Structure 1
Amino acid sequence: MGSNPHVPAPSEIPSELPTPTTPLGREALAAILARPDRAVVALDFDGTLADIVPDPEQARAHPGAVDALVALAPKVASIAVITGRPAGVAVRHGGFAGVPGLDHLVVLGHYGAERWDAVSGTVHAPAPHPGVAAVRAELPGVLDRFDSWHGTWIEEKGRALAVHTRRAADPQAAFEALRGPLGELAARHGLIVEPGRLVLELRPPGMDKGVALAQYVRELDAESVLYAGDDLGDLAAYAAVEKLRTEGPDGTPGLLVCSGSAEVPELAERADLLLNGPGAVVGFLSALAQHL
């Protein structure tokens, strides 16, 4: 990591910006304000840049999100959208392609297994894991064995599959009933289950948002990092930021932002800054851009 320059005292954070509740969070925001060109801003998509909706295919970036990213991108080292979705889907639903001013944007899809760069407009990805095809064939039969499957549905994600329970009569009961059997199915074919907000994703192991974020921060030799998320899958990115804070002589200042959700208290408890959903995240990014 690059050596950390002198940064302004946390008390010098502009009053127009929400103030992190933790000392480490205030230190990180101060570092971002002092040297934005050495900062990585990393963001989840669903629940952070886009509102959660019953049908993920209908999810779109929150109004104002692209404008906020356009204002922020030229002032920071990079903006990275890190998502469990395929990179191309996140680009399409986010409206990120061909937008002037977003040259510093990358989308790390499938938890970092895929990468889309705004500069080239192309997606780079490895070959699919063979276990995904096997699980795809068996999954409907596994769901049929449980009464709780009614109202659940399978989302095809190309390199992964997700079972959503939000539409079930008792979404949480369906989630708990299916978690074990889907875990066994995934394990038989070399996959893992990633739990989320009333969704169970069956995907290949070896990559998560934490691995993707840490690799990207090191790639850019960033001096500070902001990560915003809302779901259980974001805990790995939180852990990566917490580890980066301790590495090297001075560590890498990191700001953990939670896009508020009562469904995932684990994230809120570890966050430096709580924001009330995608609208508030977009407002924060816009305000941050104005002060850089």
Structure 2
Amino acid sequence: MEFTSADGERKYAALVRAAVETVVGLDFDGTLAPIVEDPAEAHIHPDAGAVLSALAEQVRAVAVVTGRPARQALDLGGLEQVGNAIGDAGKELYLFGQYGNERWTSTNRRIVSPRPPAGLASFTAELPRLLRRHDAADAHVEEKGLAVAVHTRRLPEPDRAFEELLPVLEERAARYDLVVEPGRRVIEVRSPGMDKGVVVRTLAGELEAGGFAFVGDDLGDVGAFEAVAALSADGLPTLLVCSASEEESALLELADLLVDGPDGVMDLLRQLTSDAASLRA
């Protein structure tokens, strides 16, 4: 763990003191699970179930907030079983899929989801032609139901392809009143009006949070970081944690604390759990 400043250490200490009222939000890919070539193989860190269950005993709630479809995250993360363990402790696990468009909780074990956005089917039908035109026909296209994602990771020059495709897909998405969410070598197209920042604000209000921590790793988490920063400006104890990588640095300047990928996230959550329990002992 590496604090970005002395202020980061102060914020961590304040969050520990407010742990019982704190909501801890976590991204999935790059945070709880490693980034891998095939998104369908991104299984959660093997220690995550036990770590999240122990953490839940010390805080108001734990929430996983991901761009993945909720069902996929539940399966790859074994989160239904984690939710059982958290429920046994009298707490609740929240899962928000597709940037908050889908919601599942360990109490109401049903995924609540809207209809797919108008225009998404037409946009998806155009994708193969757009990708061929920009020498990216082999990009992996992931249809998510409420969104479609183009992964450049498998291409010979993934970063060049990402930079070239981003403005092209932004322009075409706008024609269908869709928005683009860039991430680590992935460009997602979905409906507007929902992002991880909305999720943070919703949870903070619903749960009357007295503190908020968020752990993320890429551009899709910027909205959550900004929403947590706004809570901090209103006087809440907060902590922003970047699960750092060589591929993505968008969160580095916003973070209070840097950790080394999912292994580092597990170490941080163990430390937070231990410090909060010691304070209450």
Cα drift, residue 232 of structure 1: 0.6
User: CA contact under 8 A between 1:227 and 1:256: conserved in structure 2?
Assistant: yes
* SS state at 1:182 partner: helix
In the alignment, what sits opposite 1:178? 165
In the alignment, what sits opposite 1:3? none
* SS state at 1:162 partner: strand
Identity %: 46
Q: Distance in 2 between matches of 1:37 and 1:122?
A: 27
Deviation readout 1:236-261 (Å, 9 max, x if unpaired): 111111111112xxx11210000011
In the alignment, what sits opposite 1:46? 29
- Tell me whether 1:256 sits opposite 2:240 in the alignment: yes
- Tell me whether 1:268 sits opposite 2:252 in the alignment: yes
* SS state at 2:214 partner: strand
Cα drift, residue 151 of structure 1: 3.2
User: CA contact under 8 A between 1:155 and 1:161: conserved in structure 2?
Assistant: yes
Runs of 4+ more than 6 Å apart: none
Q: Which moved more, 1:282-291 or 1:153-162?
A: 282-291
Instruction: Give the unaligned 5+ runs of structure 1.
Output: 1-17
Aligned mate of 2:100, from 98, 112, 122 = 112
In the alignment, what sits opposite 1:27? 10
TM-score, structure 2 normalization: 0.92
User: CA contact under 8 A between 1:24 and 1:255: conserved in structure 2?
Assistant: no
In the alignment, what sits opposite 1:220? 207
Paired residues in the alignment total 271
TM-score, structure 1 normalization: 0.89
Q: Distance in 2 between matches of 1:217 and 1:65?
A: 23
Q: Distance in 2 between matches of 1:195 and 1:227?
A: 19
Give the 5 Å matches for 1:200-211. 200-211=187-198
Give the 5 Å matches for 1:1-292. 18=1, 20-99=3-82, 100-103=84-87, 104-147=92-135, 149-247=136-234, 251-292=235-276
Cα distance, 1:150–1:19 mapped onto 2, change above 3 Å: closer
Q: Distance in 1 between matches of 2:122 and 2:200?
A: 29
Kindly provide the amino acid, as one letter, of the partner of residue 29 in structure 1.
Y
User: CA contact under 8 A between 1:28 and 1:225: conserved in structure 2?
Assistant: no
In the alignment, what sits opposite 1:13? none
Cα drift, residue 180 of structure 1: 1.6
Q: Distance in 1 between matches of 2:2 and 2:206?
A: 29
Q: CA RMSD in A?
A: 1.4
Instruction: Give the unaligned 5+ runs of structure 2.
Output: 277-281
